Structure 1
């Protein structure tokens, strides 16, 4: 079959359509005929060598599609089921057929489009797990540093649905978007601490930026155990916080799909590209030119 991936570690010049064998589902895996696949910053970082995946490899870590095969021990699913979930090893989704981890897959409700379901495992799943780990009571204030990206927009919506007050740090272009999803927007840059303090005290921080920006906003949270970052694991640990512990379970994906079907979570898909434009779609994500989540339509 034909998949889109990379032939060597490095830049976009190493991306290509690859002729690869059709996959077989391993133990605890589903074989899925892919209808839609998410495009994430992690895909170009993987190509750049961040996760140690040896080329050649097909990119793509989250998909939605139809089950066409079951590996040994893959329980709770049947051939013909419409599902969505994560690909083992963070690879293989940008192809007509993909392996999906059964324990990190869920049935796709009729009211949730394949393109919307395909982007839930990575961004919305990370946001959901972050909030579960923080376990804030209703009425608490959560500061989201870098709230305008895919994970940020998801955590804003999920936090508001839990009754939290959300302050979102982002660029001016994302102010209207954050307001629409229920956050109080605050511009990043010099003076950000004063602007956040003018809104009110902060009970927890979820960081999606890292570096100096993380070190700056860490001053706002009195209890550093309520500091989380997925952007700078060494620094957040140094500051007394933690990375986000991922659940990656059927239960979490089922709940996210329920929230989408109920209208409580908008996956915010703004770019849907044909499979033939996979390179252009990844380039747009790498440049940061897409306003929301990006999807490849494959089937």
Structure 2
């Protein structure tokens, strides 16, 4: 089968499309014929060799953890899913023609493979950091870097829970944030003053790692009310860095429920082929997306 792999840490150019042996489903796993794979920031952080304790790596390595596709192998001890089912979930080396998943759910009706591949990690992350930051219904949450996949999920889940959200993004994404129910403003100089004009902030999330943690702490008044998923230096400022995933099956179940109720939709900003994985990483690292980027197989 074809898969994207890298044999050394480095820039996007270390990614290679190679021939590899097909993986097979072990106990408690399923294998899918991949139709699409989600492109996540953790993918290129691993490729660069960043120190991510939650994601140990051995070289050579495949790339990707999110995927959607059609089940073609069911491992021992697995029930509730059959060969031919349309599923999405989380596994390993998902930038490939076949991948093994360790957590999955059936794709809701009306959701394409491309859309489904964009949900697993971002919904798990959104649910986790909302829980960790402790924001409650009736309170106001500030989300820095709100237009990407995780931000899109956070805004919609928070709205469904009765939480007011102030989101920051570039000028071209202001209307997008408003369409998701957020109060929108731009990032950059004067952020604290612009946010204060929109309201009092009870908690804040840093999704972009753009150096705004001091401003988020100033706005919340307490570093314990700020969570980052993008700035590895956050702990030096007293802010928690959240990197270890919680229950992916639970997150997928909640994603299905939200999608089915029409309360969650994450658009696909751009699709790439397996051969274009390096370009997908370049674009992901540049940021400024609206929704998700996916590899289509």
Provide the rounded CA distance (Å) in 2 between the counterparts of 1:224 and 1:286.
26
Name 2:64's counterpart in structure 1: 60
State whether residues 237 and 243 of structure 1, in contact with CA within 8 Å, keep that contact through their aligned partners in structure 2.
no
State whether residues 203 and 220 of structure 2, in contact with CA within 8 Å, keep that contact through their aligned partners in structure 1.
yes
Name 2:230's counterpart in structure 1: 231
Structure 2 counterparts to residues 181-192 of structure 1, below 5 A: 181-192=180-191
Provide the rounded CA distance (Å) in 2 between the counterparts of 1:225 and 1:245.
18
Structure 2 counterparts to residues 182-221 of structure 1, below 5 A: 182-210=181-209, 212-221=211-220
Stretch moving more, 273-282 or 195-204: 273-282
Structure 2 counterparts to residues 1-299 of structure 1, below 5 A: 1-50=1-50, 51=52, 52-87=56-91, 91-101=92-102, 104-210=103-209, 212-236=211-235, 238-239=237-238, 241=240, 243=242, 246-288=245-287, 290-298=289-297
State whether residues 130 and 245 of structure 1, in contact with CA within 8 Å, keep that contact through their aligned partners in structure 2.
no
Q: TM-score, normalised by structure 2?
A: 0.90
Does the residue aligned with 1:31 lie in a helix, a strand or coil? strand
Stretch moving more, 224-233 or 138-147: 224-233
State whether residues 274 and 297 of structure 1, in contact with CA within 8 Å, keep that contact through their aligned partners in structure 2.
yes
CA deviation profile, 1:199-231 (whole Å, cap 9, x unmatched): 111111111134641122111113543321112
| Unaligned ranges ≥5, structure 1 | none
Pair 1:66–1:156, CA change in 2 (3 A): same
Does the residue aligned with 2:212 lie in a helix, a strand or coil? helix
State whether residues 83 and 105 of structure 1, in contact with CA within 8 Å, keep that contact through their aligned partners in structure 2.
yes
Provide the rounded CA distance (Å) in 2 between the counterparts of 1:230 and 1:143.
14
Q: How many residues align?
A: 293
Pair 1:243–1:237, CA change in 2 (3 A): farther
